[in-house]
Each structure stands twice: as structure tokens, then as C-alpha cells.
Amino acid sequence: MKVLIFITVWKRPEVTDLTYSGLDRVQAIFKEEGIDSEVLVVSSEDYHTKKAKDRGYHVIEVENFPVGNKMNLGMQEALKYKWDYLMEMGSNNLLSNLYIRAFIAACKEKFACFGSGKFYALQPDRKKVRVFNVKRRNGFGGVGRGFRRDVIEAAKDGKYWDSEINSGMDGSIWSNLIKPQIEKDPHSVRRLVNNSYPSVLDLKSDTDVNKHGGKIIADQDFLVRWFPESKNWIK
């Protein structure tokens, strides 16, 4: 089995470096489980392109706006490579080890689409942490989301996200890809962890598009236990 990690990047080089450190851990766990993996970076800036190439990642460079078009072009590029599952990542995110193993289990069980319904968001002050739950029934967010290759290939006219949009990416791909898959085979789409443990961490900055509400939690030590790279970010 082979997984392609798909990540779009824009600005925020320091936090993206932290995300790449997290991907080292993701790929190490994949390797432990006998799964091959590669990374495709969809870049819009020379320094991100160079950084990705230096790490041995595949890279495509396209204009950042509209973001929907950027991501569609990146996904079209992704289909040029050989893989069985795609893992979607953001440029400011970390995954917990338990979630990575849940992702692997979902691949082995051949689910079509899957992801996490719970996120922790470390705010731009690097002190406050907010918990965010996906409100859509049985829904899941984009970070760490998995797609079986045939689901991506089935997209009409290569449209995964609405090309003209700069926000609302999760709702767009839900309508274009995930909802049709649910209608085709509802048992093939799964929220993996049922919000039972930390799975995804967003490292927020002032340039973030998405602003999450939710309950503020004071204990940051647990973040480092679940997302070890965050120790280099928390103040």
C-alpha cells in the first residue's frame, strides 16, 4: 500500500517547518506498518518550493488565489503519481500517533473517505488552546482526511473544490466528493475517532483564514504529549 500526503502551503514558513517535522513522524509510523509514502507540496512561493525540494518532496508551483483553483491543480498533479490513498494536510497542522494509526487501519479496511471530527487550535498567542468539533453529523474536517484513489478519480471534470473560492474548502469538497460517495455507499465513509482523543492540532497565526471558537483549555502540557513537535511552538 502507498499513501500520498497532499499539502498546500502559503506564507508561515516557521510553522510549515514544524508541520514538516510532524510529517517525519507520520512517515516513520507508515514505514513501521509496511506502508510506503510520499509527499506532494502545492506551493506558490519560491522559498516553499525550495524547502520542499530540499526535503525530497514532489512539488508543483501555482498561483495561490483563488485557493480552490490552486487545490484543484494540486489534486490533478497528485493523480500523476502512483498511490492507493491520499492524506490531506494543511501547512500548520500536526497529527497524533493514535490518529495516524487509525488512518492506517481505515486504509486497511478499505474505507473510501474518512477523517477526524475534533481539532485542537493553538491560538496566535501560542498560549490559549481552543477545542473545535465538526458540527456536521458524522462529518470530519480536512486535516488528516483520507481518500481512496477511486474517489478522487471519480470527481466530475476534475473538480474537487469549487475553483473560484478562497475559503469554505471543507464544505466545497464535501459537496463535490464526499456527499456523492455517501449516496453511493454510506458505509464507506467514516469519522474515525468519534472525538474520543486528540487527533489534530492547528497552529494558528494571524494569517489564518479559519477562526475557530470553542472552549479554552489551560493545560498545554497534554498538547506536547499528543503532538510532540508543538513543544517548539508553545510559549
DSSP 126: S
Give the largest Cα separation in the chain, rounded. Answer: 47
pTM: 0.94
Which value, in Å, is the radius of gyration of the alpha carbons in the chain?
Answer: 16
Mean pLDDT, residues 111-129 taken together: 88
| pLDDT value at residue 173 | 95
Q: Binning pLDDT at 50, 70 and 90, where does residue 216 land?
A: low
Q: Binning pLDDT at 50, 70 and 90, where does residue 197 land?
A: confident
| pLDDT value at residue 204 | 81
% residues pLDDT > 90 (the chain): 74
In whole numbers, what is the pLDDT of the chain averaged over residues?
Answer: 91
Mean pLDDT, residues 65-71 taken together: 97
Least confident of 4-13, 151-160, 164-173: 151-160
Closest by CA to 153, choosing from 231, 80, 235, is 80
| pLDDT value at residue 234 | 82
Closest by CA to 95, choosing from 206, 190, 211, 5, is 5
Residue with cell 492507493: 84
The CATH superfamily assigned to 2-115+137-194 is Spore Coat Polysaccharide Biosynthesis Protein SpsA; Chain A (3.90.550.10)
Q: Binning pLDDT at 50, 70 and 90, where does residue 220 land?
A: confident
User: What are the domain boundaries of the chain?
Assistant: 2-115+137-194
| pLDDT value at residue 100 | 97
Neighbours of 171 (CB within 10 A): 14
